Structure 1
């Protein structure tokens, strides 16, 4: 329908309304309801410039007694103010090569220890990155390849406005006369060099300075052609000329608003769909809905701290007002980074290795700005979900919710769409999940009184997320290495029963000296101590390890474990059930097929298991979708999963995070959605969705209980795995507090056993009258085990 507009002739001839409609439709296919902006500070490193553009008020000549460059302290003061205001981007604005025109610039640079402005810019970008965590984006104009590569080490992205490809504008009397850096050839060469250097790049055109519509289309075609060769153009800015006093063009007519709308629509139709089209909101008299209707999907940089130094007469809109106006146009405002998501996800190609860690620290799972201080396991309170008026779920989201509620299996794309929900869409997903929970489970929230017994933290696997295991590469992590005596296992079991527990959950590292007999002995120790105790133990990795050391099949070994007292298995060691992620996260661990092989064998011998997901590290929503679909398929096949347990990644002490290779766990929005979407996708085959109060804290758990979860897991008399990773929670949520939390969420508590039956009343009495826990004993490894563990 819209192909008639794709040629220059078609664009030039089309009515504006038709052109805008075609552009908006193209934008919606690519970006849906998401409309982005970057929260940033503007750092005007210098106002000196060798060019003399006829419309510019940014460039100023040097004045006696006034510094011509911001000092390091001044730069960092601006950046720190931005960081305190929630910014993620430091945009460096500056004139082009002033040292080629002004002695004052050369002398100032020499005093700063540099020969060129670009050299000083590179130093300041590094300083801002290291001192404040803001991600630098530099707009220094035309650059050589060497200069671009120098900046690439400290900037996550770079930019230069192409402005125009019309040589006429450089002729005498034209706006670019006397400005050598504005010649189209120089601008296009810089654009091309950025692509060759794998630099995510921002560019754009300036309209209303004397160019024709045909010349605008020519400029857009040139940008698109360069992107076609290199894929490096993140966004294109359509900026309208504003006449300013004290310039040669102070009396020049400004382009009409329809002219701006026409150019935006043309840009959207010409440019590759993945290139964002942006229009500055402070330059358009707050005509936000019509700008969106013309095809933009981004507002560019908005600063809560600094003015627009290029257009100082045009104040930024308040971000809250911008969000509301964006919502009026049916879009959800989302904060992004200066590096767009697709470049972050392909970071090995587009990002200097030194910039990966600081960028990931700022990012959520979609590659947008994290936007909150909260992380799983931390002390910060979870943020309340943001509410945006006026937005409504679109037809695709509504259809996915209806299908899930009816119990239909969802495809990957539909699940990803659910995970992308924000604003009113987020509310709709959570409400649908909670209504489904109410229909399936009523208003009861269950929990179990249990005790974790982690019998050893010595492990010869090298999972990059694990802060629990001890070995050659883990000496600096929390706590000493230990290997519990069976007597300590028995003592803890007896104490747990006396304190009301019906379950012990046993898991540990893969000790190099453990065999299948070790795990059998652990089961016997529990059963000899308390025959009635339910043993919920051994990850699929431990089961596979035990079977292989005895030369038994999985089925044969699981039958031996069951005979020794094992009653159910935790579905841990799952992490993300997709080998693309596992290859980077835990390459020497079970692969996806092997994990399911253990689960199927367990279900076939009559052992029920849980299912889990550990999320918020290096994966993307695509991988969550694959994981959930595989869990559902297994449950349809065997029916052996008792529950689905989302486990948010706790990052603080995780080696992967400490080495700069992961995000800071999921955001609260993502954590809530994992429970809500899990409820919807797994309906009706898994009826119990558990929230981890250890990872999310009590307030976070309440939000998930309102979004599809119906179970709070165990009271956990001892928990060491999450705490080893840095979690602040985890040491026993006593039954009285557990039930208080449930009632505070407006629900009715139910004390259950492991398999979701009611717990014996005698154990409830013991649980509510429990004595204080005795100190745990961490048995030191025997000398021979120390030697062997150290050799791993």
Structure 2
């Protein structure tokens, strides 16, 4: 009965799509597109590698395929392939699209001989070899269009190709008949192509497919082809995009005089694709074949432009040049859909939940290109890298933005945030997902709220970091600071400061004007609760007036456990010994699915919240943090911010929120190819801006980390909701161990210049945001 109901529903939709006015069809498709996710249009910057122009088929519309006599060689050599790929990588491409004909060795002796001389039995074997070269030598992600393949072929390609493609073109068997476009083309049998697409699904390869419009098919057959692709995806979940491509007659082909589909017919199929296919499948139309109707295609419901190359032409349609990306960007922005780069593998296949779609061998390369949404990183910037400047500046933290409309729904979220209301998780994710003019609206709202809440001063504290040991029982995958033993052999040797050294460093800090000492270290196997108490007492005995800001929730938990007492009681002991406040570190991401991957065996989310809440209840304020840019996504960020907000509304006591971008260079899980390269610049800016909005009414201070962002980066986010520059630090070991190059300390004059660059005044504060006596300022 369910199958009958589904078929009835499909028949009704098909009948409506064929008969309804075009304006109604496109309007419904637009609405479906706009409701499926963030407002954006995507494209892939790619380089085209025409590995061979030989083909076993003789499609009557094709100018790409040719004969051996018209080629210098049947295939490109590996050196030629790499030359094209390197040019693409140098021009900002992320994808290497291998275009070739179907199994030319079946038809041409020249192809068989060329392959055999080089040790290959089939074209697809040579494709794999070249894809592996491109991946290894350039880092570009191969996408392979190698024609009809079997499951074992796709399995062979998985480790070296992030995705693959096979156009269905049409479900129509009529097109194989004499006089029709696919006559004499054995690989164009619809059942064979559907079987190959299904085989890709069985091999768990993300796929591109599509339909070709105007090659002799009927209007009903066009829709049947889309329904066939829908059914394939429902079974395997592997279609990432469907191309709706219009046939363009080419001189020198048997179909040179064939009529094209009318614009209305073409737009109807584009819109039908959006309405027939599941929401997670993108609908694409080639912009170079439709340069005079780009707006009409947007209005028909597409969300992707496919591959656009700054280096190579479209070898299948060489007569149609690519549109200028900046022109395309402006057109999209004008429709309220910022143009965003994507990878050849779509975002949903890159997420943690869908990671089985990516072969472990190619996953490191995918992650190097990806941002938190699974889209393309917006620049080469990463936190902590030496010799780089922030891509944005104090006047435009996100860089130049195209003008464009901003959705009323976004304005409503911003209004609720400004009123101090608690946003929903979906609202916060929507803020993080904004691009273009919408993202700038978020940044502007955050900066306006900062001015209202925190005024026009930028605050800082004079402090010193004392990391008393780097020996740790935990092996967190992001941490390059901790060492497990003296035999570890890392760049920094294991150490354990004695109490005299800790007290001496505290005295030095006071002599240099510090009002705070920040004490944190690894979870040393011999440390007990008494160890931490003795550290506090040693500092307070040496410097009675110095504020002791010390011990992460993990260290507090460790201390309480070793003494066999409740955390609250132990915190009260620490407070009595002179502890003034706790750093809210060890939070990482307050989502256990991520914590289990990056810091197994540490505190769970609830345990972290319980320790911090207990600190507040005994009168110990804390900071709060997030470490972002590794395995987590924007949904995790939203849940993290809401967990902090709810805790603060319950217990109070959080003095500030500090976003900590991952410094990836020496992080063990990055070196193993298991995480991203820290957040992108846009993500770093948006974390500060969205935090200001999401935490409004709960946590009033948003601090930026100059150690991670660099001083110019810190200055830029002061215009995106941040109001505090943290501490001068004097000694900073943890970020330096991870590879950060922004120094172990900063001068007050450098902080003043950062504040003044955004037109604000610098003011020294105490750890708890009190006034500093003039003699200490």
TM-score range, shorter chain: over 0.9
1:84 offset after TM fit, Å?
Answer: 0.9
Q: What's 1:437 paired with?
A: 450
CA distance in 2, matches of 1:237, 1:735: 57
Tell me, what secondary structure is at the counterpart of 1:353? coil
1:400 offset after TM fit, Å?
Answer: 0.7
1:695 offset after TM fit, Å?
Answer: 0.5
**Alignment of 1:610 onto 2:615:** no
**2:485–2:494: 8 Å Cα contact kept in structure 1?**
no
TM-score using structure 2 length: 0.97
Q: What's 2:188 paired with?
A: 182
**2:38–2:433: 8 Å Cα contact kept in structure 1?**
no
Tell me, what secondary structure is at the counterpart of 1:7? helix
**1:327–1:388: 8 Å Cα contact kept in structure 2?**
no
Q: 1:518 to 1:25 in 2, by over 3 A?
A: same
- What's the CA shift string for 1:428-458, capped at 9, x where partnerless? 1111111111011110000001000000000
**Alignment of 1:108 onto 2:114:** yes
The answer to which of 30-39 and 287-296 deviates more is 30-39
Q: What's 1:338 paired with?
A: 344
TM-score using structure 1 length: 0.95
Query: What is the 5 A alignment of 1:185-204?
Result: 185-204=191-210
**1:62–1:68: 8 Å Cα contact kept in structure 2?**
yes
**1:554–1:598: 8 Å Cα contact kept in structure 2?**
yes
Tell me, what secondary structure is at the counterpart of 2:660? strand
**Alignment of 1:359 onto 2:366:** yes
Q: What's 2:431 paired with?
A: 418
CA distance in 1, matches of 2:486, 2:257: 69
**Alignment of 1:406 onto 2:419:** yes
Q: What's 2:377 paired with?
A: 370
**Alignment of 1:650 onto 2:663:** yes
Q: 1:472 to 1:298 in 2, by over 3 A?
A: farther
CA distance in 2, matches of 1:651, 1:200: 28
Q: What's 2:3 paired with?
A: none
- What's the CA shift string for 1:161-211, capped at 9, x where partnerless? 100111111111111111100111111111111111111100001010100
Q: 1:119 to 1:474 in 2, by over 3 A?
A: farther
Q: What's 2:216 paired with?
A: 210
**Alignment of 1:239 onto 2:252:** no
1:551 offset after TM fit, Å?
Answer: 1.2
CA distance in 2, matches of 1:403, 1:713: 28
1:65 offset after TM fit, Å?
Answer: 7.5
Tell me, what secondary structure is at the counterpart of 2:464? strand
**1:289–1:328: 8 Å Cα contact kept in structure 2?**
no
**1:47–1:59: 8 Å Cα contact kept in structure 2?**
yes
1:382 counterpart (387, 390, 400):
390
Q: What's 1:706 paired with?
A: 719
Q: 1:309 to 1:476 in 2, by over 3 A?
A: farther
**1:6–1:270: 8 Å Cα contact kept in structure 2?**
no
1:290 offset after TM fit, Å?
Answer: 0.6
- What's the CA shift string for 1:584-603, capped at 9, x where partnerless? 11111000111011111111
Q: What's 1:291 paired with?
A: 297
Query: What is the 5 A alignment of 1:557-568?
Result: 557-568=570-581
**Alignment of 1:265 onto 2:271:** yes
**2:616–2:653: 8 Å Cα contact kept in structure 1?**
yes
Q: What's 2:69 paired with?
A: 63
1:587 counterpart (600, 603, 612):
600
CA distance in 2, matches of 1:293, 1:516: 65
Tell me, what secondary structure is at the counterpart of 2:194? helix
2:56 counterpart (21, 40, 50):
50
The answer to which of 382-391 and 157-166 deviates more is 382-391
**2:61–2:256: 8 Å Cα contact kept in structure 1?**
yes
Query: What is the 5 A alignment of 1:353-752?
Result: 353-379=360-386, 380-384=388-392, 385-471=398-484, 475-752=488-765
Q: Which stretches in structure 2 are left out of the alignment for 5+ residues? A: 1-8, 393-397
CA distance in 1, matches of 2:112, 2:252: 27
Tell me, what secondary structure is at the counterpart of 1:255? coil
1:21 offset after TM fit, Å?
Answer: 0.3
CA distance in 1, matches of 2:354, 2:99: 25
1:730 offset after TM fit, Å?
Answer: 3.4
Q: What's 2:355 paired with?
A: 348
CA distance in 1, matches of 2:112, 2:235: 37
CA distance in 1, matches of 2:149, 2:399: 42
Q: Which stretches in structure 1 are left out of the alignment for 5+ residues? A: 765-792
Tell me, what secondary structure is at the counterpart of 1:31? coil
CA distance in 1, matches of 2:10, 2:68: 52
CA distance in 2, matches of 1:373, 1:476: 30
**Alignment of 1:21 onto 2:34:** no
The answer to which of 327-336 and 60-69 deviates more is 60-69
The answer to which of 447-456 and 138-147 deviates more is 138-147
The answer to which of 503-512 and 597-606 deviates more is 597-606
CA distance in 1, matches of 2:488, 2:84: 40
1:58 offset after TM fit, Å?
Answer: 0.2
Q: 1:474 to 1:166 in 2, by over 3 A?
A: farther
Tell me, what secondary structure is at the counterpart of 1:763? coil
**1:720–1:730: 8 Å Cα contact kept in structure 2?**
no
1:736 offset after TM fit, Å?
Answer: 1.7
CA distance in 1, matches of 2:565, 2:273: 65
1:392 offset after TM fit, Å?
Answer: 2.1
**Alignment of 1:277 onto 2:290:** no
**2:38–2:434: 8 Å Cα contact kept in structure 1?**
no
Tell me, what secondary structure is at the counterpart of 1:354? coil
Count of residue pairs brought into register by the alignment: 762
- What's the CA shift string for 1:339-384, capped at 9, x where partnerless? 1111111443211111111101100001101131000111221212
The answer to which of 253-262 and 709-718 deviates more is 253-262
**2:333–2:436: 8 Å Cα contact kept in structure 1?**
no
Tell me, what secondary structure is at the counterpart of 2:102? coil
**Alignment of 1:166 onto 2:172:** yes
**2:413–2:423: 8 Å Cα contact kept in structure 1?**
yes
Q: CA RMSD in A?
A: 1.3
Q: What's 2:100 paired with?
A: 94
Tell me, what secondary structure is at the counterpart of 1:762? coil
CA distance in 2, matches of 1:12, 1:256: 15
